[in-house]
Structure 1
Amino acid sequence: MNLSALSASLEPLNLRSCLIQQQGRLIFEHYRDQRTCSEIAKINSCTKSILSALVCIAMDQGHLSGPSAPLSEFFPQLSRDADTRKQQITIGQLLTMSAGFRWTEFGGANSFPKMTRSPHWVNYVLEQPLADEPGTRMEYNSGISQLLSSIVVQASGMSTARFAEQYLFGPLGITEYEWETDPQGIHTGGYGLKLRPTGLLNFGQLYLQQGVWENSQIISSEWVARSAQPAMQTEPPRHGGYGWHWWTDTITGDTRTGESAAVDYYYARGYAGQFVYVLPELETVVVLTRDNMRGRNNPPPDVFGEYIAPLLVNPEGF
């Protein structure tokens, strides 16, 4: 299967975009129409990985002491909480979604929709009881990302978006974006950001280059490595691991020579088919975006797993 065949395979899927960059060279570029290239669009929970980068930059700059910094340093009201374990939750545990809060993102308790309907999102999250000992179990929680956005504001003295403009978006050439805020004006940490596909590609390339962009170290290589390292194992139906607001997994398959192959990668993932895949071993970044919501009972196809990963395992296909 060659790139022409890949383009034909993607055509009926109605993707907004599919970009593949290898060794710093854009080798495949597919857009649904001419407008898509220049339009900003929702990246949904890929926002979490952008936020993770901002937390790393804040640590590099000394605004945050590091991943072991306690949550109570930024939210002193936790000293009045009956559960004293909350005071010991760390920034690192927020990044790995292992803070231990009782939370059901959707379904069941519907924690995420309830947060967005509350008058104070940060307080809503902090008031949730603990279901697990902090640091022991990963539970997907967009409220945790909102806490991290608030921490960036407190630590840097500027809004999350302004901090991003100055230290991440600006260097990457991202000049146009939109970003939602909560009722207190804190930019949404778990979703709500709009970017162009090329902005996502640059973001993935920054991580592939271990935090370096145009000879400047935007994020320390230490934090890039920690971000991509699987710190927590996910639970079914998810598979793979979870790092610092990045998902981790492995491509497995057989090469054309009959040898088995296993390639580790990590990725940002947003609802309805927004992805940024970083494959260090293959020096490759893949961006996928779409906007035709299918609903929970009719999820979008696994474009990366079905169409792109087999080509990456068998580079002769390129």
Structure 2
Amino acid sequence: MTTTKTFPRTTPSALDIDAGGVRAFVDALESTPGVEPHSLMLLRHGQVAAEGWWQPYAADRVHLLYSLSKSFTAAAVGIAVREGLIDLDATALSYFPELDVEITDERSRRIRVRHLLAMASGHREEALDRARAADPSNLVRGFLLTPPDEEPGTVFAYNQPCTYTLGAIVRRVSGGSLVDYLRPRLLDPLGVDDLAWRRDETGAELGFSGCYTTTDAVAKLGQLYLQRGVWEGERILDEDWVAAATTTQVENPAEENPDWSQGYGFQFWMARHGFRGDGAYGQFCVVLPEHDVVLAITGQSLDMQAVLDAAWQHLLPAVDRPSDTGADTALEARLASLGLPPVPGGRLPERLADVELRSRPDAILDAVTFTRDADGVRVTITDDGRSDSVPIGEGEWAIEGALAASAATQSDGTVLVALRFVETPHLLHLRVDLDAGTVGTKWKTEPLHDGPLTLRRPAA
């Protein structure tokens, strides 16, 4: 297999992929209710067959991965196993000897590292809230004080404290942060320049979520696993680790959607085809070993099963199907013109200038202010003592920093403003009533662990 830090670019037909199938996949992403794509990269044989970003998203921007972060945390564990710092069969408790006297439940004491990796701690359901209630300041302690319902290793439950504890173990054995550990061992070898992690109030990376990086980095992680842990001739992950991580470690037939009930590995889901890491609102790293294919996607999608359904319906049959250069050219033009629609409607009113609006009760923001200068209208949002501002595009997206904005006057006379937090999946709508002097706010998708003024790449 070809390996490289910067993926070579070529055409789908050169890789025996029908570009028409890729176009049909793009069309499906754009037309399926509950699906909003932000980026995609399709690799075969270690080369880019197709890639695109929906403006105002862009190739050089990081994107919040939500639970796809777990697969990066697991890679850190895998590297630490290779270095002899972590033993898969050691108990989680053994890495936190200061808790030994307090953790008296026998099942809690029997949770092993491999059980954490496989979401098989023995808890029947998500334990995050219970763990936080047990100890608001030490999630590992709170988790280990929350007794499992069953014997560890016997039942699957998607459980954030499992991954948080894995991150804590890496920090404990390495003496530094997760990112510090990954930088020379994974990120630099793969050529991943930009990766940052949201930290909790203790200064620890969340591990289970909060990782911000590029679509290219997601594709590289998938390619590393496709190459059985080897990158440019250098072994980063042991082959037996990759084999275990990407095969079923615990059955999960009770999961509702077909691509979520095929079994779970080490912070990877098994699927109807291949395996994948994924995160809330449509962050995907899909690996298809039989076809030597990796698919990386970001988005703001509520219907994540629909994204995979579209891949199986359109992309999968396109592999090893005859194509032609005409289809390649048409796809290239299609991908070059991708964009999320700006807010439709009429011109912004002249009086939308030097206006400070009252937030309606229970609003998401504390204050919204509009100002007008020679370049047009700018909106400033304030929440929890912090402010940010961005120009407003009319008929387009205006981008500044980590925000993009578009607005138009609606038929009822109100002004609709769309604010995109372009380092995350999220979109916030502002409904401005100038006559009443008020602004209403509504998320298209609710952020899971951030407020509007922290929806951006964390500082290093």
Report the TM-score range of the alignment, normalised by the length of the smaller protein. Answer: 0.7 to 0.9
Native 8 Å contact 1:19 1:30 kept in 2: yes
Q: 1:72 aligns with which of 93, 107, 110?
A: 93
In the alignment, does 2:41 pair up with 1:26? no
Q: Which runs of 5+ in 1 are unaligned?
A: 252-264
> Which amino acid is the alignment partner of residue 311 of structure 1?
L
CA positional deviation for 1:3: 2.8
Q: Secondary structure at the match of 1:80?
A: coil
Q: Secondary structure at the match of 1:288?
A: strand
CA distance in 1, matches of 2:280, 2:36: 16
In the alignment, does 2:301 pair up with 1:282? no
CA positional deviation for 1:103: 3.9
2:418 paired residue number: none
Q: 2:152 aligns with which of 134, 139, 148?
A: 134
> Which amino acid is the alignment partner of residue 96 of structure 1?
A
Q: 1:5 aligns with which of 3, 14, 24?
A: 24
- Choose 1 or 2 for highest CA Rg: 2
> Which amino acid is the alignment partner of residue 16 of structure 1?
H
CA positional deviation for 1:304: 2.5
CA distance in 1, matches of 2:68, 2:61: 17
1:271 paired residue number: 280
Q: Which runs of 5+ in 2 are unaligned?
A: 1-19, 324-460
> Which amino acid is the alignment partner of residue 20 of structure 1?
L
CA gap of 1:224–1:83, structure 2 versus 1, over 3 A, is same
Cα displacement string for residues 65-117 of structure 1 (whole angstroms, at most 9, x for unaligned residues): x21111121122144323123222110111011111354368xxx558x5699
2:450 paired residue number: none
Native 8 Å contact 1:72 1:79 kept in 2: no
In the alignment, does 2:250 pair up with 1:232? yes
Native 8 Å contact 1:55 1:152 kept in 2: yes
CA distance in 2, matches of 1:89, 1:267: 25
CA gap of 1:178–1:5, structure 2 versus 1, over 3 A, is same
Q: 1:54 aligns with which of 65, 76, 87?
A: 76
Native 8 Å contact 1:115 1:125 kept in 2: no
Cα displacement string for residues 151-176 of structure 1 (whole angstroms, at most 9, x for unaligned residues): 00111122111001121111111111
Higher relative CO (Cα under 8 Å, sequence separation at least 6) belongs to 1
Cα displacement string for residues 188-229 of structure 1 (whole angstroms, at most 9, x for unaligned residues): 110000011011011111111111111111111111111001
Alignment root-mean-square deviation, CA: 2.2
CA positional deviation for 1:232: 0.7
Q: Secondary structure at the match of 1:286?
A: strand
1:14 paired residue number: 36
CA positional deviation for 1:293: 6.0
Q: 2:196 aligns with which of 178, 188, 202?
A: 178
TM-score by length of 2: 0.60
Q: Secondary structure at the match of 1:2?
A: helix
2:393 paired residue number: none
CA gap of 1:98–1:35, structure 2 versus 1, over 3 A, is closer
Cα displacement string for residues 252-307 of structure 1 (whole angstroms, at most 9, x for unaligned residues): xxxxxxxxxxxxx11001001001011111000001111x364xxxx356222224
TM-score by length of 1: 0.86
- Paired residue total: 295
CA distance in 2, matches of 1:317, 1:305: 22
CA distance in 2, matches of 1:181, 1:122: 15
CA gap of 1:307–1:70, structure 2 versus 1, over 3 A, is closer
Native 8 Å contact 2:179 2:196 kept in 1: no
CA positional deviation for 1:118: 2.3
Choose between structure 1 and 2: higher helix proportion.
1
Q: Secondary structure at the match of 1:28?
A: strand
Q: Secondary structure at the match of 1:93?
A: helix
CA distance in 1, matches of 2:127, 2:62: 26
1:83 paired residue number: 105
